[in-house]
Amino acid sequence: MIQKNKFPENLSKDLSNAVRQSAQISKLIDDYKCQKGHISLNIFQTKLEYRLNKDEDIIEVIQENSILKVFEKVVENFMILANQIVARKLSLNKIPAIYRVHSIPDGNRIENFVSDTRELVSISLSENLSIVSPRSINSFLESLRTHKYYSIIQHNLLLSLSKAEYSLNNSGHFGLNLKHYLHFTSPIRRLPDLLVHRLL
């Protein structure tokens, strides 16, 4: 995943090794989450750009693909894991906390998303979302991964999902497929994180 020549020449060997090992660990985290049906939506971190022809039909989707995005994913994986561990500790010890929760998406909105997707790709999809779960959504996306409008499909899916919110009730996070989740890693810019630090 990380090529040796991708690092700046002035980067120390110890630091480059540490970064490479972090990327390898992050890959293991990704593999584990995929087994659990984790939704992987690059749209959360990707700017969506596309080109139109004179008839205003989409002719190209511009995707960002750089080494920086790889390391953003590494940091994201470690942050989510830290948030998950802290949330689980507080929950199991029955300590009241502010959780970051994400509810199951509305069935009608998902049906509309599937219908719109069928029109966009102009093919008969073998996958369906009759049962809405992280695994089924991930499978649906995977069936379209090579399509030229994949980024747009991800974006439309994001609009179909419920909004995450803060709650004293630990009802889980649908999008991350986690039973325990809160915000812990940014106490200098988010009040919920600071409160969780004080609880610990």
pLDDT in tens for each of the 200 residues of the chain? Answer: 455 446 666 678 888 788 889 989 999 988 887 777 666 554 544 555 666 777 767 666 666 555 567 788 899 999 999 999 999 999 999 999 999 999 988 888 888 888 888 888 865 555 556 667 777 787 788 888 888 788 888 888 888 988 999 999 999 998 888 899 999 999 888 999 999 999 99
Q: Which of 161, 147, 124, 128 is nearest to 44 (CA)?
A: 161
Q: Which of 137, 109, 130, 107 is nearest to 39 (CA)?
A: 137
Phi, psi for 190 (deg, rounded to 5) = -135, 130
Rounded to the nearest 10 degrees, what angle do helices 150-160 and 107-121 cross at?
Answer: 160
**Could you tell me the two tokens for 34?**
């995929």
